[in-house]
Amino acid sequence: MAEQTPRGTSRNKSGSEGRGRGRGRERGPRDRDEDDELIDKLVHINRVSKVIKGGRRFSFGALVVVGDGRGRVGYGMGKAREVPEAIRKATDKAKRNMIRIPLREGRTLHHDIRGRFGAGRVFLRAAPPGTGIIAGGPMRAVFETMGVQDVVAKSIGTANPHNMVKATFEALRNCVSPRGVAARRGKKIGEIVSRRSDQSAAS
């Protein structure tokens, strides 16, 4: 039961003032954890065995892709004795390794790009509205979490999901917006955009 103090603030029986109780407990929209807005997809799970004295020890490896649906994306790999723990470790690593990729009109890539990792090679192509995501499973997970709506992607040389994802990220790191190209060449954005439009019309 609260009683009135000389200052007019309520004090409960434990002696703590009501004015300070609960302050900071209510969280607004800006204080929500950003992790709640992230999209994560499990790309691959594999079982690994290690020969030890007395037999074999089994563990699991997980490959997870995480993105915010607005151009930020990352991938991570985790290993543990249990599948849930492996997924958790992979998800945490993916969140720490997120990169931002510039998107054209918020739906596709700015230009065609290539990437390579190990035996895996990928070719990513910007696409017009309505195309959708034309890509294999591991690559599709990257585009969906990143927020890409229209893209045509092709993988050559490997079916290994790890190599496909890593090659896709190598390609995405080479994606540059017209603003970035203009800054690099010391030109205006309008010149870069108009040249790209002329090339598209010619093709």
131 and 184 in a single domain? The answer is no
Average the pLDDT over 178-191 and give the result.
60
Q: Give the residue among 40, 33, 167, 31 at the shortest CA–CA distance from 98.
A: 40
Residue 51, domain CATH: 3.30.160.20
- Alpha-carbon Rg for the chain, nearest whole angstrom, is 25
Q: How many domains does the chain have?
A: 2
In whole angstroms, give the CA distance from residue 203 to residue 198. 9
Amino acid in position 133: I
Residue 24: the pLDDT is 43
Residue 61 scores a pLDDT above 80: yes
Query: How would DSSP label each residue in 14-52?
Result: TS-BTTTTTTTTS--GGGS-GGGG-EEEEEEEEEEEEEE
Q: Give the residue among 85, 88, 83, 82 at the shortest CA–CA distance from 64.
A: 88
Residue 186 lies in a domain: yes
Give the C-alpha distances (Å, rounded to integers) separating 117 from 36, 113, 121, 124, 171: 31, 14, 7, 14, 10
**pLDDT tens, residue by residue, 22-60:** 444 444 454 355 666 899 999 999 998 888 887 888 999
Which residue in this structure is represented by tokens 């017209």? 178
Question: The whole model's pTM is what?
Answer: 0.72
Residue 189 lies in a domain: yes
Q: Please give the mean pLDDT across all residues of the chain.
A: 80
Residue 151 scores a pLDDT above 90: yes
91 and 117 in a single domain? The answer is yes
Average the pLDDT over 125-136 and give the result.
94
Can you say whether the dihedral through the CA atoms of 102, 103, 105, 109 is positive or negative? positive
Domain span holding position 59: 36-172
Residue 17 lies in a domain: no
86 and 135 in a single domain? The answer is yes
Average the pLDDT over 178-184 and give the result.
61
184 and 135 in a single domain? The answer is no
Residue 123: the pLDDT is 96
Residue 53: the pLDDT is 82
Residue 28 lies in a domain: no
164 and 187 in a single domain? The answer is no
Residue 15 lies in a domain: no
196 and 106 in a single domain? The answer is no
202 versus 102: the higher-pLDDT residue is: 102
Residue 48: the pLDDT is 87
134 versus 50: the higher-pLDDT residue is: 134
In whole angstroms, give the CA distance from residue 22 to residue 92. 31
In whole angstroms, give the CA distance from residue 38 to residue 98. 11
